[in-house]
Chain A
Amino acid sequence: MERKYRVVHYLNQFFGRIGGEDKAGTGPLGREGAVGPGLLFQEFFGHDAEVVGTVICGDNYFNEHPQEAKDKLLEFIKGYGPDILLAGPAFNAGRYGIACGAICSHVSDQLGITSVTGMFSENAGVELYRKSAYIIETKASLTGMKDASGKMVTLAMKLARGERLISPEEEGYIPKGVRMNYSADKKGAARAVDMLLKKLKGEPFTTEYCMPVFDRVEVLPPIDNLSEITLALITSGGIVPRGNPDHIEASSAKRYGKYDIQGVDQLRPDEYETAHGGYDPTYANEDPHRVLPLDVIREMEQEGVIDRLYPYYYATVGNGTSVANAKEFAQKIVKDLIRDGVQAVIISST
């Protein structure tokens, strides 16, 4: 027989039967067994799982001391040795929603166990935590308690058992903003013609990918004292020392390299090459300056057009590399550049 899963439930002061708004400052505490809505959860779990403990914290306390609240609650939760954490549901209560999202996300992260909460779609906690926690979509008020509890329990059991989820709509949770592959019932070509005919007839259809919204970086004013600046070179064209010592991937790069060019005036083809898998490497390997113009910049340095070239250059591969990875690289690189007083950067792409 399958063992019984252990569940801990998080509640605020109101649902935890401590008191109303006057008790919202109550700090974290633990209770054995199920309290309030936890009794309903227990009914839904039946013999599959047992609500072994309940942790409670006042809404104000949590939002005013988030780190302390999370740390303390984590200690209580750990003590029960749970497989599952349920939080709320918080419906449209904003402070409660934020607390539920925060504790679910923290516990999943720290203990690696399943956690599920429930909120109304416009709860402030949704935007903050939908990417890091499973949030069942609920009605705005308490009238949705039974429906929400049933869905939270079903989803929690599926996750705990490692079952494959069908879809956010089917399971009732708010999409986490993560793309996942699945096999559709028809080929893409047939789906395309179906969608086009629906669009032409004015019938409802659902696009399979909503257009992304891009960051737009404001252009800075030109530099007027070029001869006094330190300039750095960065490339997403994959120019690396031969042998690609940092193993930068040919596509969807997960890393970048930082290479010392003190005293290097020429990128010789026997010393440098491209690691990029998205373009024909013939010409870049023949003359790496075609992608990283070190030769010209060195001349400009000697002529005094710029004061000096930064002693390192950075390289990655911009071939299908995710925006999230690119952003992370940039944040790290910028730290070096600002610390070392670099005022301008030339980024060569391919």
Chain B
Amino acid sequence: MTLELGRILIEEVKWGRKTLIKKRSLYIDRDELIKKAQGGDTRITSITAEIARPGESTRIIPVKDVIEPRVKVEGRGGIFPGFISGVETVGSGRTHVLQGCSVVTVGQVVGFQEGMIDMNGPGAEYTSFSKLLNIALIIDVANNVSKHEHEELLRLAGLRAAAYLGEAGRDVKPGRVDRFEFKRPSSINEGSKDLPRIAYLYMLLSQGLLHDSYLYGQNVKNVLPTLLLPTEVMDGAVVSGNCVSACDKNTTYHHQNNPIIEELLMRDGVDLNFVGIIVSNTNITLRDKQRSSDYAVKLVELLGADGVVISKEGFGNPDADVMMNCAKIEEKGIATVMVTDEFAGIDGGSQSLADSTPHANAVISVGNANELISLPPMDKVIGDERIIEKLAGGMSGSLSVEGGITAELQVIMGATNELGFETLSSREV
């Protein structure tokens, strides 16, 4: 299976009369974007669109999801299968990426579980999203819409907008084309036969009730762990439907650009053999956890893996799933490394995880999400910053009169992403 990812570098985004890409600038017909995002759904009462550029004194809050505009140019299926396109298997042919920009959905779904992005200042250092040209959609829905419908409406509007903008790149010649080839494990060639066989266990949050992730449009809560090709995620096979703490939920953008998959593909045949991805879920009952981890471990064994990278999503309850997966895999004599963030308290003096296993002797920490940060006021706020005190990671008094924010790192989108998207880590001092 081969996928060519054509990267069209976007260095400026402007409103224009027609949506098109010219000399690395993306011009957007604002009205058409809004219309496409709404998709004729009358439950959406209004959408406003704003642009936030890197370095601008702008704060976006409350953010639900971040999505990269892409378009399928050749090969089976379309972008975001199961939502925007049909359900044909994707991941082959050619896909164009509008690199350097994103669609950011803004709107208060639950009130606690959205996050923020600062485009400037110390807050910008914590998230790669501050380095993107962000097209923010502030979406309001009708009063009688339930929270679950509300989440779905924002999720779909974001995907529609990203697919619409992606279309602008269909006929543009990409600046760079990356070719990703994934070989069948049985066809590993002679030269690299002695390299360690590495699998990736991709745990998705699926606790129901606004804590869901989707695979080809299917809620992974109801899916047994299964195999996925590395290139499928690049076409949007995995989509976020999460309203959890901002710091460690995997946005759709993170899935599209999963850094563990990119790292393993890059090193495939060099110092390792990448044998496959097992997508697993993170459900709430013990029975579900046991069933899923048993099933995932079986697939790891079937792939003949010597080692497994395990990534997590969320914290607390999912700690139980990750420890169970780690212990069962290690008991099979297969080595693991897990990626997790920490909740060690504001002073960093508390235990960081809710569960543990002595088998977890190789852990990558992507930072203590409780650490307190202070952010200066921004000239422009997209959305409504008064919500900060209610966000997970915010507290009474988080917002100063001048508009400065003191809160836990937890409030920043992707700050402690557990796919290892950022360089942040934590250590004992």
CB of B364 within 8 Å of the partner chain: yes
Bound complex: CA A185 to CA B424 (Å): 9
Looking across the interface, which residue of chain B has its beta carbon closest to that of A254?
A: B395
Contact A193:B425 (CB < 8 A) given known A320-B245, A323-B350: no
> Residue B420 contacts which of A181, A183, A188, A200 (CB distance < 8 angstroms)?
A188
Q: Is the CB of A320 within 8 A of B392?
A: yes
CB distance from B124 to the nearest CB of A (A): 13
Q: Is the CB of A251 within 8 A of B342?
A: no
Q: How large is the interface on A (under 10, 10 to 19, 20 to 34, 35 or more residues)?
A: 35 or more
How many positions in chain B have a CB within 8 Å of any CB in the partner chain? Answer: 86
The B159-186 residues at the A interface (CB cut-off 8 A) are none
Most chain B CB within a 10 A radius of its CB, from A176, A208, A209: A209
CB of B344 within 8 Å of the partner chain: yes
Which A residues are in CB contact (< 8 Å) with B418? 188
Q: Is the CB of A179 within 8 A of B112?
A: no
Contact A181:B429 (CB < 8 A) given known A211-B357, A277-B392: no
> Residue B427 contacts which of A180, A252, A277, A283 (CB distance < 8 angstroms)?
A180
Contact A178:B358 (CB < 8 A) given known A207-B363, A277-B391, A280-B210: no
Bound complex: CA A210 to CA B347 (Å): 18
Q: Which 3 A-B residue pairs are closest in the complex by CB-CB distance?
A: A188-B420, A322-B345, A280-B209
> Residue B425 contacts which of A182, A282, A325 (CB distance < 8 angstroms)?
A182
Contact A197:B368 (CB < 8 A) given known A183-B423, A324-B349: no
Q: Is the CB of A178 within 8 A of B348?
A: yes
The B258-303 residues at the A interface (CB cut-off 8 A) are 259-260, 262-264, 267, 271-272
CB of B428 within 8 Å of the partner chain: yes
Write out, one digit per residue, whether chain A residues 180-196 have a CB within 8 A of any chain B CB (1) or not (0). 11111111111111011
CB of B206 within 8 Å of the partner chain: no
> Residue B391 contacts which of A189, A250, A283 (CB distance < 8 angstroms)?
A250
Q: Is the CB of B427 within 8 A of A322?
A: no
Q: Is the CB of B112 within 8 A of A277?
A: yes
> Residue A180 contacts which of B110, B408, B417, B426 (CB distance < 8 angstroms)?
B426
Write out, one digit per residue, whether chain A residues 265-293 have a CB within 8 A of any chain B CB (1) or not (0). 00000000000111111110000000000
Main SS at interface, chain B = loop
Which A residues are in CB contact (< 8 Å) with B427? 167, 179-180, 182, 208
Bound complex: CA A280 to CA B244 (Å): 9
CB of B346 within 8 Å of the partner chain: yes
Q: Is the CB of B425 within 8 A of A183?
A: yes
Write out, one digit per residue, whether chain A residues 313-324 have a CB within 8 A of any chain B CB (1) or not (0). 000001110111
CB of A50 within 8 Å of the partner chain: no
Write out, one digit per residue, whether chain B residues 309-349 have a CB within 8 A of any chain A CB (1) or not (0). 10100011000000000000000000111011011111111
Write out, one digit per residue, whether chain B residues 352-384 have a CB within 8 A of any chain A CB (1) or not (0). 110011101111111111110000000000000
CB of B147 within 8 Å of the partner chain: yes
Which B residues are in CB contact (< 8 Å) with A189? 259-260, 262-263, 339, 419-421
CB of A172 within 8 Å of the partner chain: no
CB distance from B410 to the nearest CB of A (A): 6
> Residue B351 contacts which of A181, A184, A187, A212 (CB distance < 8 angstroms)?
A212
> Residue A196 contacts which of B113, B307, B429 (CB distance < 8 angstroms)?
B307
Bound complex: CA A156 to CA B267 (Å): 45
Bound complex: CA A252 to CA B339 (Å): 21
CB distance from B336 to the nearest CB of A (A): 8
Q: Is the CB of B198 within 8 A of A179?
A: no
Q: Is the CB of B426 within 8 A of A208?
A: yes
CB distance from B251 to the nearest CB of A (A): 15
Bound complex: CA A10 to CA B306 (Å): 56
Q: Is the CB of A176 within 8 A of B260?
A: no
* A-B CB contact pairs (8 Å), 16 listed: A168-B428, A178-B428, A180-B429, A181-B409, A187-B423, A188-B423, A189-B419, A211-B357, A212-B353, A250-B112, A254-B395, A278-B392, A281-B110, A282-B209, A283-B209, A323-B350
Looking across the interface, which residue of chain B has its beta carbon closest to that of A207?
A: B363
Contact A209:B272 (CB < 8 A) given known A179-B428, A180-B429, A192-B339: no
> Residue A131 contacts which of B208, B349, B362 (CB distance < 8 angstroms)?
B349
> Residue A175 contacts which of B243, B245, B429 (CB distance < 8 angstroms)?
B429
The A219-263 residues at the B interface (CB cut-off 8 A) are 247, 249-252, 254
CB of A199 within 8 Å of the partner chain: yes
CB of B146 within 8 Å of the partner chain: yes
CB of B393 within 8 Å of the partner chain: yes
